[in-house]
Structure 1
Amino acid sequence: MPLSQKAVARCRRCRLLPAILLGLWAAVSNRHQPLAAVGMSPPTTPYSLPHRAVIWDVDGTLVESTSLGLRGTNAVLKKNGHPEITEAEYKDGTRFPTGERFGFHISGNPKDPAAPRLGKEFDDHYVQLVSLETAPLFPGLGELLRELRSRGVRFGAVSNACTAYVRAALAANDLSDLFECQLGADEVSAAKPAPDGLLKCCQAMGVEPADCAYIGDAPTDGLAAKAAGMRGIGVSWGSHSSDSLAPAFPELVKTVEELGKALLP
């Protein structure tokens, strides 16, 4: 007896059923395989990069503020009857927190009793002068920051300057929203080379020090990174030479391009 058209269609569907079920089983199984095993590239995430977070020093690392710092320092020194200093002397002093730096400049003693007052005067004056013109990003860093952030890397900033300055410098470069943690020496129990600021920043962001890198331009930055248990990368475009940085940093870079390769291998 000839089959009806409906019966023929049912039989065809029955013959296709095993193939359909096999396809569904393969699709479900592949969900639990590495993407590379099924011919797909894995997405880029923070976990496929060396670090979940990068913490940055500010002056000499992120921003070129030498002229601003020198001008502010000499204004305070002159006002208080002390000789003005040269750019080289200013750069040499940047290894100290601001108050100690003034002690170094006026007497060679970072613990000079007059230093804290002069440092406070400097902070009050210096912060008011911050702008895109006086504290711009070093060339190429804006692009690197955006690339890192697009891949999920988080940012913090820790400086031996005051917190108000850190915030002003980031704001002037339209970076405030990118940096979850912004700390100066006035908000930590001990400034760099102590690790306190770096550890406080990690705690604020909820990341482990081992998952972070710290980028800086001074020997104290390298020592702080080591003490905090995080990767330290020194940059030689700031206030200190490669020779002075080498003992403190296991890694040194000379250009932003080299830094990008270190952070985005």
Structure 2
Amino acid sequence: MKKQAIIFDHDGTLVDSIDAVVFCTNLVMKEAGYAEATPAEIKRGMAYPTLARFSYHTGNRDSDSLNKMSRLFYEAMNRKAVEMVKLYPGMKEALDRLARDGYSLGLLTNNQGIFTRRVAAYLKYSYDMEVILGEDNVPAPKPDPQGVLQACAGLGARPEDCWYIGDGVPDYEVARNAGLKSGLVTWGAHPKEELLSLHGDQYFDHAHELADFFCGKQER
């Protein structure tokens, strides 16, 4: 049977980055003169690309101000936050199983590519990934299909032979928009009930379920 390629979202799917995002978002907002957002508000905002996320939190529509906040956010993330990010339980083992079983693995995120690659190297899963793309590496962020199609091309796979795995509405939408099958994980930033309403192709409650689905059930 032909192996499919699997492309992953990053934050809320592979890694728990909420503490890092909360810290750096509030650092930037405070410096810009805005009130800090609560962790719950920031978690909801993670559905948006970075520039739109700062607009969501501040109500600001000025592109120069938002671009500056986005730039300062990524500077803070790269300077202070790499070691704050953690893989979800069982995820490293799941990625290793998928790679050993012959799947081509990629990563497409609305986070910054430079930061994401640093995290992947720090958490030692970068060697499982053949392609790592951030919002600064693609023409437009999710749910625009161009980035995920770029990832498919980088993996040498047709969209119809690929899955996109994520934890939110933009992840489901980018899979649908690009003709990939969608897998949704329930441990990320979005409520399970919201995800179930999307009618994705497959749902996963734990990383080992994801590996079992693609590689076959493993005795535990």
Work out whether the TM-score is over 0.5. yes
Question: In the alignment, which residue of structure 2 is the partner of 1:127?
Answer: 78
- Say whether the 8 Å CA contact 2:101–2:215 is kept in structure 1: no
> Which of 204, 212, 217 does residue 261 from structure 1 map onto?
212
Structure 1 residue 48, shift from structure 2 partner: 5.2
Distance in 1 (CA, whole Å) between partners of 2:47 and 2:92 is: 25
- 1:106 matched to 2:58? The reply is yes
Aligned pair count reads 214
Q: 1:251 aligns with which of 202, 206, 220?
A: 202
Cross-structure match for 2:112 = 162
Aligned equivalent of 2:153: 203
Distance 1:82 1:198 in 2: 34
1:96 partnered with 2:96: no
Partner AA of 1:177 in structure 2: Y
Q: Deviations over 1:97-149 (max 9, x none)?
A: 01110000001x6x553322211110111122243x41121110111111111
Alignment match, 1:22: none
TM-score between the two structures when normalised by the length of structure 2 = 0.92
Distance 1:202 1:48, change over 3 A: closer
In the TM superposition, residue 201 of structure 1 has moved relative to its aligned partner by: 0.7
Higher RCO (CA < 8 A, seq sep 6+): 2
**TM-score w.r.t. structure 1 length?**
0.77
Point out where structure 1 has 5 or more consecutive residues left out of the alignment.
1-46
In structure 1, what is the Cα distance between the partners aligned to 2:209 and 2:62? Answer: 40
Task: Identify the residue that residue 185 of structure 1 maps to in structure 2.
Answer: 135
Return the alpha-carbon distance in structure 2 between the equivalents of residues 244 and 87 of structure 1: 19
Deviations 1:66-89 (A, max 9, x none): 101100000000011000011110
1:136 maps to what in 2? 86
Partner of residue 68, structure 2: 117
Provide the C-alpha distance between the structure 1 equivalents of 2:177 and 2:123, rounded to a whole number of angstroms: 30
Q: Which amino acid aligns with 2:206?
A: T
Deviation, structure 1 residue 156: 0.7
Distance 1:218 1:99 in 2: 18
Deviations 1:2-21 (A, max 9, x none): xxxxxxxxxxxxxxxxxxxx
Tell which structure's C-alpha radius of gyration is larger: 1
Q: Which secondary structure does the structure 2 equivalent of 1:225 belong to?
A: helix
Q: What is the CA–CA distance in structure 2 between the aligned matches of 1:246 and 1:82, rounded to whole Å?
A: 35
Q: Which residue does the alignment assign to 1:176?
A: 126
CA RMSD after TM alignment: 1.5
Q: Which secondary structure does the structure 2 equivalent of 1:127 belong to?
A: helix
Task: Identify the residue that residue 212 of structure 1 maps to in structure 2.
Answer: 162
Identity rate of aligned residues, in percent? 34
CA contact (8 A) 2:105 2:131 kept: yes
Contact 2:97 2:215 survives alignment (8 Å):
no
